[in-house]
Every structure is written in C-alpha cells, then in structure tokens.
Structure 1
C-alpha cells in the first residue's frame, strides 16, 4: 500500500540514496530502510511544503560521531533538493543519516541510532568536562577515541561487554594513567 501511494520520484530517490550509502559505508543496509527512508522523505517534503520545521535534537551528535553516515545524509539532501527543486533544512541530513544508522547490521538487529548518539555524546562530554579540556575533532586521536566509544556503546546495548581477561593490561593502564582510569 505504501508503494502504491508513493510518488515514483521518492522511490527512485530512495534507491539512489541507499545505493550511495551502501557504497560509502561499504556494507549492505537492512532492506527495511527502503520503506522507512522513503516514507520519511515523503513526509519531510510534505512538512517543507507546509512550512513545518522539526528540529533534530541529536544533529550535532550524528554529524560528529557518525561522520560517514552524515556525509551520506548530506549527499541525499543535495540530491533531494536538486531533484525536487526545493531547499530542505540542513538538519535533514542528520535525519537521513539516522535512518542509515538504524539500517546498519543484520536484519534481526534493531539498532537505535538516537539512543546510541545520545550515549556517545554523554561519554564524550563526561571526558571533556571531567578533564577540563577541549577535544580537537580534527585530530586522529579524537577519531580513534570516538571509534572506541561507538564500539563500546554498541556492545553495551547488545549486552556483549568484553570479559575481564586482561588483568595485567588493566593494572598497567591504571598505574600509568590514574586520572584517565578515574574518568573511565
């Protein structure tokens, strides 16, 4: 029924966006993304035409912690704006990225991108403010840190935290970096 009521341009846009995202992210997205993204795009354009703007409360987190997905969302936003001759707000890139994040992984896995982004943001803020330091987002060490935090959050929500098998390494890090260990 959704397909029957959907304008052809949204079907084609969705196919182009998903194809681009799969190449950019080097992974296959859940097939459900076609319906959720297509439906989202349709309503986003309807909201635009009615001059209704809904803010994305995790725009910054998605932009900074899911950079590849956000870049795919930016590509999608430009494609939509050019194809339809409209100007959706920049926040729409994060909304599209959110759908891509939720479509990552196996079919049976239900990811919650907003929940992940909020927790990642909370952890980064905790580190930033506890250590009273500005984090350079262009630095390779920052990127590595975000990657580790993302994997931690995924394991946390999947209830697959790593077992304490590396006691020697843990003790060594605790002795060498006591302030970092306190923050952790």
Structure 2
C-alpha cells in the first residue's frame, strides 16, 4: 500500500495520509530522507506505524511536538496503544500528554546526569496489571531511546495509567463548567503568584488539559474511586510541601463550588503538575 507524505519530522519519522482523512506516524531507518509533502512511500518500508485516529490525540501530538523530540512522542504514543491493546486497558486520552511529558522530563534528567529514582512507594501487589504495563512501557523506552532507566521507574509509569484509567466520552458542551474550573484554579494560583509565562507555558497548558478531562469525568460521574496508598500522599507531602498546600486549596475550592468529591488520586496528580510549575517559576513569593 502506498502512503502519501504529509510532513517530514526527520530522516526516520514522517506523517502520512492513509485515506479517508486518517493519518499515521510512520517510522523506519531513512524513511524520510529527501521526502517532501506529496511524495509517496510503501507501507512495507516502515518498521512501525502509529495511527492517529482520534481528533484529540492528533491535537495532543501536534502540541507535544513543539518542545518534545519526535522519537520520545512516538515511543510514548506507541507504548500507550500497545498497553490498551495487549491488556485491554481503557485510558482517558490525556495520558498521551502526561506520560509523554513524564518520559521527556526523566530523559532530560538522565542526559544531564541528574536522574534520581522516585520516592513513590512500591505498588505492584495492589496494581499488578498497571505494574505489568509499566514494565512493558519501560522496556520500550529503554530500547527505542537507547537509554537504561532502572526498574524503579516502573511504578511512576504505572501511576500514570492508574490515574488515567477510564473511558473517554464524546465531547459535550462543557464550556460553563470548564470556565468555572479554570477560574477556581487561576484564583488559587494568583494567591501564590503563579502566572502562565514563557518559561512555564508548557506545564501550565498541560495542567489545563488535565482539567478539561476532569470536567468530563465529573459530568459523567466516572472519577476513579480506588484510592492510592496513603504512603504516596505522605511522601508527596514531605517532599513537596508547597505543591501539597496549593493542591489541597484547589481541590477544596473545586469540591465546594462544584459540589463534587475528589479522591486522593486527583489531589496527587495536581501535586505533580503544580510542582513542575513551581520549579519553572523560581521567583514565586512564599505565602
């Protein structure tokens, strides 16, 4: 089958049209060499094909490519699709953003000699499926990116799948609820001097993507009711006290204003996002 080139990312990765408006990322050694939009390639020349069938996944892919290398994006997206197919595991689409971002951040730390294993407690007995997925994903990361992360990284990857477990609904008109959520979060951020700027815009935008999916889950009453280990919350409280405080305020305001109940999973995830914002905003005043 011939595929029509839409964009060339590098010599080894290209975006192609595969008919009826569908697109895919095709990878293979030298497959993009001297190719231009409109050229054709044979599907047999590809070593892997990543289909971008969901419109929101397409948007996530385009957003991530602005600051994440194509090899990392393709690895993360492929790993997620493999997990969904091999383990029949349903996840919300925002994991394509959060897991890709996590892989990118730990890759940068490793390359800079600053990587340290996470303090998150072991969860393999309580979440065997997610832990098995994490092991597979880590194997793909090490192979595709030619790196070696220790097995301690498995639990971090598993945590992303635990947090994102669920089924995406069709987009609904959520503008009103979305606006409420964004207003609440920004009010709390203003109290702590957190603003969207050039240095933190990627982390800020990714938090807002997470919030949009939270809105949908609230509307459809699909919030995860399985609480993570208390050790994780305690460790995050000890390691990231300011992020823990801000996260608690945001969750309390969301619960009070939207008449909902957020479990510890959501609180922990806010901590992870907010910690990145704080790290990128070194001049944030203390409360």
TM-score normalised over the length of structure 2: 0.38
Query: What residue in structure 1 maps to residue 149 of structure 2?
Result: 88
CA distance in 1, matches of 2:263, 2:74: 34
| 1:110/1:55 CA distance change after superposition, 3 Å | farther
CA displacement, residues 28-85 of structure 1 (integer Å, 9 cap, x when unaligned):
210000000101100111111122233333341x222111111111111111111111
Query: What residue in structure 2 maps to residue 29 of structure 1?
Result: 91
8 Å contact kept, 1:21–1:69: no
**1:117 is aligned to 2:228:** yes
CA distance in 1, matches of 2:121, 2:112: 22
| Coordinate RMSD, CA, aligned | 2.7
SS state at 2:107 partner? helix
8 Å contact kept, 2:131–2:155: yes
**1:64 is aligned to 2:125:** yes
Unaligned ranges ≥5, structure 2: 1-62, 169-216, 233-261, 265-287
8 Å contact kept, 1:37–1:96: yes
CA displacement, residues 74-131 of structure 1 (integer Å, 9 cap, x when unaligned):
1111111111111112111111111111110245145598xx331499xxxxxxxxxx
Shift of 1:157: 4.2
**1:79 is aligned to 2:140:** yes
Alignment of 1:11-50 (within 5 A): 11-50=73-112
Whose helix fraction is larger, Structure 1's or Structure 2's? 1
Q: 1:8 aligns with which of 63, 70, 89?
A: 70
Whose strand fraction is larger, Structure 1's or Structure 2's? 2
8 Å contact kept, 2:130–2:161: yes
TM-score normalised over the length of structure 1: 0.57
Unaligned ranges ≥5, structure 1: 122-155, 159-184
CA displacement, residues 115-164 of structure 1 (integer Å, 9 cap, x when unaligned):
x331499xxxxxxxxxxxxxxxxxxxxxxxxxxxxxxxxxx949xxxxxx
| Count of residues in Structure 1 that have an aligned counterpart in Structure 2 | 121
Higher RCO structure, 1 or 2 (CA under 8 Å, sep 6+): 1
CA distance in 2, matches of 1:93, 1:43: 15
SS state at 2:114 partner? coil
